[in-house]
Amino acid sequence: MRKLTLVVLFLSTLYCVHAQVQDSASGRPILKKRTKPEDFWKKTFVAINLTPSLGSGSFGAYISPTFGYHPSENSSVAAGPLYMFNSFNNGTGSGRTTASIWGARVWGQHRIYRTFFAHAEYEVMNAVKMVVMNGLQYYYVNPDGSFSHQTIGNPLIGAAFVNEGDSGSQSFTILYNLNYIETATPYTKLFSIPIVLRASISFNLGGNR
């Protein structure tokens, strides 16, 4: 029985060797090369948005770091937190007051032509309640000096102009706020239009694309 087993193993080995020789002679590959999945990190990036905001008697900044991904060479999506602060004259003659706003945002863009991209985003923030007097916005301050916050969501659409490089990009974005709430939004209108301007820079995590 043992001898029969050895004979079977020997014949099986000869058959496998013969089959490999035949495949080599016919030009067929012996082993199919496995295709590696596309490196995820080559398509990821981090971006930082840092845009000053100016209004009537106020100044501040919009800061938003985001983590993003390129689904294709012409598209990008990203998400992250946001922080916005405004310093303004409180109108009491006792100096200036600073209001802080926190939230989160997601955005996406797709190339239309060369450096021109269609851009859309949605942000949620704990905005500060405003009052409007003589066409100007003022933060509403409670008797104890605190602010009244309310959560709002802002869908924004517009265009981005992107300067792309091997390791990252710089962009300037013009957006239209579809949910402009005059008594809550921290944004001021530009030429009486609820336009939001953004400037950002991004870095590819996987090195050069």
Please answer whether residues 201 and 169 qualify as being in contact, where contact means their C-beta atoms are separated by less than 8 angstroms: yes
Note whether 30 and 44 are same-domain residues: no
209 located within any domain:
no
pLDDT confidence band for 156 (50 / 70 / 90): very high
In a domain, 30, yes or no: yes
Residues 16 and 88 in one domain: no
Does one domain contain both 72 and 154?
yes
Report which of residues 202 and 42 the model is more confident about: 202
Whether 90 and 104 map to the same domain: the answer is yes
Closest CA to 79 of 92, 68, 63, 95: 68
Cα separations in angstroms, 13 against 6, 24, 31, 120, 196: 11, 17, 18, 63, 73
pLDDT digits (tens, 9 = 90+) for 96-125: 678 889 999 999 999 999 999 999 999 999
Total domain count for the chain?
2
**14 and 76 fall within a common domain:** no
Give the Cα-Cα-Cα angle 171, 176, 181 (nearest 5 degrees): 130
Residue 162 lies in a domain: yes
Rounded CA separation 31/118 (Å): 46
Tell me how far apart the terminal alpha carbons of the chain are, to the nearest angstrom. 63
Contacts of 108 (CB under 8 A, 6+ apart): 75, 76, 77, 78, 119, 120, 121
Per-residue pLDDT tens for 84-96?
988 766 555 455 6
pTM for this model (two decimals)? 0.74
* Residue 111 and residue 15 in one domain: no
**pLDDT at position 108:** 97
Domain containing 28 equals 1-34
Task: Give, in order, the Cα–Cα distances in Å from 75 to each of 13, 53, 149, 151.
Answer: 53, 28, 35, 30
Please tell me whether residues 7 and 99 are part of one structural domain: no
Task: Give me 65's structure tokens.
Answer: 């770091």
| Domain assignment of residue 91, yes or no | yes
Closest CA to 68 of 104, 50, 103, 44: 44
Q: Let me know if residue 120 belongs to a domain.
A: yes
